[in-house]
Amino acid sequence: MLRDAIATLVRDAAAAAQRAGEIPAVTLPEVLIERPQRPENGDYATTLPMRLRRAVGGSTKPLDLAEAIARHVDAPELLREVVVAPPGFINFFVDDGWLQRQVEEIVQAGPAFGTNASGAGQRVQVEFVSANPVGPLHVGNGRGAVTGSTLAAILEANGYSVEREYYVNDAGTQTDTFGRTLYARYQQQFGRDVPVPEDGYPGEYMVELARQIKDECGDRFLDAPGEPAPPELKELGIERMIESIRADVGALGVHYDRFFSERSLFTDHTYEKTMALLRERGHVTEKEGAVWFTAPQLGQDRDNVLVRSGGSPTYFASDIAYHYDKCVLRGFDRVIDIWGADHQGHVARMKTAVDALGIDPERLTILLYQLVTLKRGQQVVRLSKRSGDIITMREVVDEVGADACRFFFLMRSPDSAMDFDLELAKEQSNENPVYYVQYAHARIAGILRKAAEEGVDYAAGDVALLTHPAELALIRTMLRYPELLSDAAARLEAHGLPYYAKQLAQDFHVFYTECRVVSEDAALSQARLKLVKAAQTVLANVLRLMGMSAPERM
């Protein structure tokens, strides 16, 4: 990675300057390399001299430190020029010849371009969506699904071993309520005048589910009037809802390695082991007829109920057991939970609970995603066209397509609210960023296809002929991809990907406009076709990372 190579050069140069007695022999601060906002300031820059000045003290000037370090930077094949600028910057200009040669490296690397092994095979579990299996996924769940699946892909591209998981909350009061609601709807299918429970689920999907079960199973689950809902009906209903969830996330291009059942925590005694461990470590107390989690020594300011006075575990209790299973029994090196913003109050106590179990809380990262507002132009969409109820994730996918959903959901940081314009997402124009990016890939594929039909082969292209500013600008943008991928994994941020894809598409369109790819100059045509192939490689890689298609034709 170019940025890391320059950081190494700076560290080595600073150490050489210290050995030569040109700068004081103090511990060097971390070498940070950044991209200047203005191209006249170079491709990269470092502020190390200014930070080193604080460590050195005295009357030493940052500019003098910068000049001393710059004198020892020696990389003629990589750097065209190293420039010192007030008050103490060192600016680096990459050699054009080195840039040109990277086109060969990109084409040769293909789908592997940009990937690295920094994760060193560490086992990471990413758990996302995990909505209760009592109703269809709503559009907000779609944002969590895209965020989770993309982060998982990013981590894999950085060498981590990743497992994607959906935590099925199939225990507790909500599933009991679901079962009673389903039985009421099921009885109605046979003409019984049975009301839906007051705390039940009124959605039209429950009527449709009851109808499907009646059509397939007849009156198998019909007991005498007044009898409680048969457990088998609830189990079948939950099973059908999970099947529906699988299908809905699959339509969005999301796939899981495992659907984990909450109930399994109780049947395999994980819950009991977890509660026993909390008691042993002094984090359980009993009062008011209930069992409470307490951890004031870990910074928790109030106790939280683990087991209600009636004897039923709370969601918090089973969640602690679930994290014990993830971190201890299955031994993931790192666990990443992606939750909706309504779980914000649960974050601190979950981190505390993990600490109470003797697990390093740094192994657990919890990311929250905010609400999604659907719009058609300036008009807010509040109700479903199909049911007049909530807008489901599947409805949005069916209307605008999975690619548009994924791109739009990734365009904003998950911790900020977002507007999703359905009309813009369907528009086939450059105003729609999804269309703009995918059209760039389709145009590239068309150029390569036409060249192949005309017998023009890029394999022998001499990249030294790529001297036009638009060509070099495109190469520079392509070389940002490995840095973007590394930063995205380190920061657990995926929203830089769509912006990078748009910038790459824009730089390609500029190149295409200013540089005729196939011309009467056979040698230049081959070189430019090789550049086009490199651009296709990088654009396809970033689209693949976002879970999107890279169309050959549009």
184-195 burial: b if 16+ Cβ within 10 Å, else e: bbbbbbeeeeee
Which CATH superfamily hosts domain 2-94?
A: Arginyl tRNA synthetase N-terminal domain (3.30.1360.70)
Pairing verdict, β 258-261 and 161-168: parallel
| Token pair belonging to 492 | 């657990």
Decide: helix, strand or coil at residue 22.
coil
- C-alpha angle 214/217/218, rounded to 5°? 60
Domain definitions of the chain by residue range: 2-94, 173-251, 430-545
pLDDT at 179: 96
Look-up: residue for tokens 């020594």? 297
pLDDT value at position 386? 54
- Among residues 403, 393, 418, the alpha carbon closest in space to that of 341 is found at 418
pLDDT at 95: 96
CA–CA separation, 444 and 446 (whole Å): 5
pLDDT of residue 91: 96
430-545 domain in CATH 1.10.730.10? yes
Q: Where does 104-241 show beta strands of DSSP type E?
A: 123-128, 161-168
Angle at 497 between CA 494 and CA 500, to 5 degrees: 150
Residue 24: how many other CB atoms lie within 10 Å: 14
C-alpha 51/C-alpha 56 separation (Å) is 9
Q: For residue 75, what are the CA distances in angstroms to 5, 36, 213?
A: 10, 20, 72
123: three-class secondary structure by DSSP = strand
Show pLDDT as tens, one digit a residue, over the chain (554 residues): 899 999 999 999 999 999 999 998 888 999 999 999 888 999 999 999 999 988 777 678 999 999 999 999 988 899 999 999 999 999 999 999 999 999 999 999 999 999 999 999 899 999 999 999 999 999 999 999 999 999 999 999 999 999 999 999 999 889 999 999 999 999 999 999 999 999 999 889 999 999 999 999 999 999 999 899 899 999 999 999 999 999 999 999 999 999 999 999 999 999 999 999 999 999 999 998 999 999 999 988 899 999 999 899 999 999 999 999 999 999 999 999 999 999 998 999 999 999 999 999 999 999 999 989 999 988 998 766 555 467 899 999 999 999 999 999 999 999 999 999 999 999 999 999 999 999 999 999 999 999 999 998 899 999 999 999 999 999 999 999 999 999 999 999 999 999 999 999 999 999 999 999 999 999 999 999 999 999 999 999 999 999 999 999 98
pLDDT at position 300 is 86
C-beta separation of 485 from 116 below 8 A: yes
Contacts for 191 with CB less than 8 Å, ≥ 6 apart: none
Buried b (16+ CB within 10 A) or exposed e, 380-398: ebeebeebeebbbbbbbbe
Pairing of the two strands 79-85 and 89-94? antiparallel
Which residues lie below 8 Å from residue 382, measured CB to CB, with a gap of 6+?
A: 391
DSSP symbol at 314 = P
CA distances from 379 to 87, 142, 375, 399, 422 (A): 51, 21, 5, 17, 10
Largest alpha-carbon pair distance within the chain?
Answer: 94
Judge contact between 497 and 437, C-beta under 8 A.
Answer: no
Question: What is the per-residue pLDDT for 1?
Answer: 86
Name residue 23's amino acid: I
Task: Tell me the C-alpha distance between 536 and 110, whole Å.
Answer: 9
